[in-house]
Structure 1
Amino acid sequence: MSQVPAAEDTTTPFSELQRPLQITGTRPETFFISRRANLTFSLLLLISCYSAILIPAYLPVQKTDIRDSKHPKDLVLLNFSAAVLSSPCQPQWWLSRLQPLSCSVGLLNIPVFVQQEDLLWERPPPLGLQGSEVHLALALASLPQHALPLAISEEGRCRRCVVVGNGGILHGSYLGSHIDQYDIIIRLNNAPVPGFQRDAGSRTTIRLVYPEGAPSSAEEYKNTSTVALVVFKSLDLEWLTSVITKQPLSLWSKMWFWREVVEEIPLRPENFRILHPEIIHKTGQALQKYAVKQGNMVPTLGASAVVMALQLCDHVSLAGFGYDMQHPEARLHYYEEIRMDAMKAQVVHDVSAEKLFLRDLVAAGAVTDLTGAL
């Protein structure tokens, strides 16, 4: 019987299994790293992961400017504004709503612009024109017209006013096209229009200014019907006469303004007026009811413009009013980067009293707050 050849032994000795895998051409002692090197590498990897997560949190984040946004920041306010415009205009809408308020005493039938026959010598500027007789006479002589402009004084027409404040709340509102639909659009000092039409509109019926606050760019006076001077000192009347007559101010006069003033405004003489100081005076008296300290109070142009609007229009709306003092990082003005905490530095106006005053007007329905910050 033939002998079957023995099968080839293919098993691997146990001692061979204990050897580490060796790659051809690589020495086993160089393939594996040491324990110390492994610990170092692990620590570096851990630090890198934490850095990737934590460091970006401390880097400045680029904020999106609302001017670059393609959408309004508050569709509710935009829809509310549209509803206000679409409602029928009712003559003397605000009158019955204002009368029950304690602050309403003296706010009715105030003259808006200074006339030739006015006697205003009981109080000094800005509450009167005491001591400014000569300057007033020269300013009035340079004005062809003193009364309300024809477009405003037209009788039998129900008019809507909007007072456009300078507040940062207007920024990103997309209310510009709505503002342009009002009959009378009132603006304050050098609040810009070009470049901000989307939020602030493009037309101006009355711009209230004092010399140091008047816009310096000729572009700002386009689509402007009337510039009304608010007199804070006798020299302001001299400035107005200079602007209208094109006769430059003396170097001595220029020295008394607290900042450089514009010397030319590209409007005709009939486009200028002088705000009646009773507007300032009566507004200040109304604010006394909300003030902690009593005394002659100088209101802001914004509060004064609201009282002026009540004399001119049947419906009065506000846009860009309300200082958010609880958030110092909020934008102060719609056209610049200054923040709300800058208001703490001013000591001339009582903005807290003004906010309470305007809030009462809104709550009573005498005026409408389009931007909702009051």
Structure 2
Amino acid sequence: MVAQKKLSVTDPEDDSEPLLPAQASRSGEARDFFISRERNLSISVVLLLGCFSALLVPAYLPSDTPLWTNDSTPSTNKALLNHSAALLEGECRRGWSRSRLGEVPYADRLNEVGVFLESGKAGPWELYPPLGLQGAEQTLKGALSMLTESGLPAQLNSSTCRRCVVVGSGGVLHGSHLGAHIDQYDIIIRMNNAPVFGFERDAGSRTSIRLLYPEGAPLLGHEYLHTSLLVLVPFKSLDLYWLASVVAHKPLSWWSRLWFWREVVENVPLPPENFRILNPDIMHRTGQVLQDYTRQPHTLVPTLGACAAVLALQVCDQVSLAGFGYDLQHPASRLHYYETLRMGAMETQVVHDVRAETQFLRQMVKAGVINDLTGAI
């Protein structure tokens, strides 16, 4: 009979010694803890947030550790500037970069890729955004109907031999003094909200093509000055709706704004002829090449920087990069040339494989397909 009853402090049928009140209390607390789902859930959330904070806070908050500003010695800077000057002074060689693609492993997919989408010539798509536009055909049709031109504008298409420079956001560009060199290129490609205003000495002052998605578009109107083309890279169907609204100078609905993960600009001071939509094949084929440089089983989504380099191969004869390279061995180094965010932040992102992209770009530099103006690849 005793074995079938719970032990308690006041069990009259139990001949054994009763549990001490303190022991009974602790036993009851343990049972309450393990059977309280709400309490377990709350503690789990707190622990999860604590783990994320341990990873993210050191990368984003100020630190007593000095940030990297420019570790290059004056002689190194001078050598890079001399190399850049020599490239600009040399004769432009038509078709040079694409002719060297055969020297890069797995890069055969990057020849003859369409750059911008045109009305009546888009699709069909087998993949969903951003690697395709499956399911977004009607939204795409509406966005394309707002654009008045396609292809490169006349001012970018006049030269018989075009030199391109893709200006990355890397901290290595800080203190480079490459701005005057960058401005001499025929086509200057930038990504997202990487600023020009106030950074002309290192990053140059002109923008021929700016690749972006809505959440990455500059919020300040003066960043669109001296810009020839604004090219949308659609990561979701809503991005196409955003483009149509911006071109038409119509505000987004409150419901649409809820689905962007951060504030988006709604007033871009450019006419309709200055907008384009990037062909998703650029991102898809770039991802396929990067897949061969990594062991990850899933399809890779390349960074806009890698996509910009592939775009440059399609429209230019000679391609150079500036501000590229991730110094992951030094997490306290500067990630971007225009802010103090540290390199350690890259370790927390899971969308891109920057190590695979680095291997790919190094192969491109080694084969002479592209030139690395800042020497960090």
Q: Which letter does structure 2 place at the counterpart of 1:139?
A: A
Aligned to 2:197: 194
- For the pair 1:144 / 2:120, whether they are aligned, the reply is no
CA contact (8 A) 1:298 1:349 kept: yes
Aligned to 2:314: 311
Q: Which letter does structure 2 place at the counterpart of 1:160?
A: R
Q: Which letter does structure 1 place at the counterpart of 2:256?
A: S
Q: What residue ranges of structure 1 are gaps of 5+ in the alignment? A: 1-59
Shift of 1:101: 2.1
Task: Specify which of 129, 135, 144 is matched with residue 133 of structure 2.
Answer: 129
Shift of 1:64: 10
Aligned to 2:249: 246
Aligned to 2:178: 175
- For the pair 1:223 / 2:206, whether they are aligned, the reply is no
Task: Specify which of 210, 213, 216 is matched with residue 213 of structure 2.
Answer: 210
- For the pair 1:367 / 2:365, whether they are aligned, the reply is no
Shift of 1:247: 1.5
Shift of 1:291: 1.0
CA contact (8 A) 1:143 1:272 kept: yes
Cα distance in structure 2, aligned partners of 1:248 and 1:268: 16
Aligned to 2:282: 279
Q: Which letter does structure 2 place at the counterpart of 1:193?
A: V
TM-score between the two structures when normalised by the length of structure 1: 0.80
CA contact (8 A) 1:317 1:370 kept: yes
Cα distance in structure 2, aligned partners of 1:160 and 1:129: 31
Cα distance in structure 1, aligned partners of 2:303 and 2:155: 26
TM-score between the two structures when normalised by the length of structure 2: 0.80
Aligned to 2:11: none
Aligned to 2:113: 110
Task: Specify which of 151, 165, 169 is matched with residue 168 of structure 2.
Answer: 165
Cα distance in structure 2, aligned partners of 1:105 and 1:263: 39
1:182–1:120 Cα change, 3 Å: farther
Cα distance in structure 2, aligned partners of 1:330 and 1:73: 18
SS in 1 for 2:296: coil
Shift of 1:121: 1.8
Shift of 1:148: 2.3
CA contact (8 A) 1:216 1:262 kept: yes
Q: Which letter does structure 2 place at the counterpart of 1:191?
A: A
SS in 2 for 1:90: coil
Cα distance in structure 2, aligned partners of 1:63 and 1:355: 26
Shift of 1:196: 0.3
Shift of 1:133: 1.1
Shift of 1:62: 11
1:72–1:199 Cα change, 3 Å: farther
CA contact (8 A) 1:72 1:173 kept: no
How many residue pairs are counted as aligned between the two chains? 312
CA RMSD of aligned residues (A): 2.0
- For the pair 1:299 / 2:302, whether they are aligned, the reply is yes
Aligned to 1:93: 96
Shift of 1:96: 2.6
> Once the two structures are superposed, what CA deviation does each residue of 1:316-343 show, in whole Å capped at 9, x if it has no partner?
0000000000111110000000111111
Task: Specify which of 335, 339, 342 is matched with residue 339 of structure 1.
Answer: 342
Shift of 1:87: 1.0
Task: Specify which of 324, 327, 336 is matched with residue 324 of structure 1.
Answer: 327
More divergent stretch after superposition (144-153 vs 88-97): 144-153
CA contact (8 A) 2:67 2:334 kept: no
Cα distance in structure 1, aligned partners of 2:254 and 2:89: 52
CA contact (8 A) 1:206 1:227 kept: yes
Shift of 1:262: 0.4
SS in 2 for 1:273: strand
1:345–1:246 Cα change, 3 Å: same
SS in 2 for 1:361: helix
Aligned to 2:58: none
SS in 2 for 1:106: helix
SS in 1 for 2:177: coil
1:346–1:99 Cα change, 3 Å: same
Cα distance in structure 2, aligned partners of 1:127 and 1:153: 27
Cα distance in structure 2, aligned partners of 1:280 and 1:93: 22
Q: Which letter does structure 1 place at the counterpart of 2:130?
A: P
Shift of 1:352: 0.3
Q: What residue ranges of structure 2 are gaps of 5+ in the alignment? A: 1-62
Shift of 1:100: 2.7
* Structure label with greater radius of gyration: 1
SS in 2 for 1:163: strand
Shift of 1:73: 7.0
SS in 1 for 2:255: helix
Cα distance in structure 1, aligned partners of 2:75 and 2:276: 36
Shift of 1:370: 0.3
1:153–1:251 Cα change, 3 Å: same
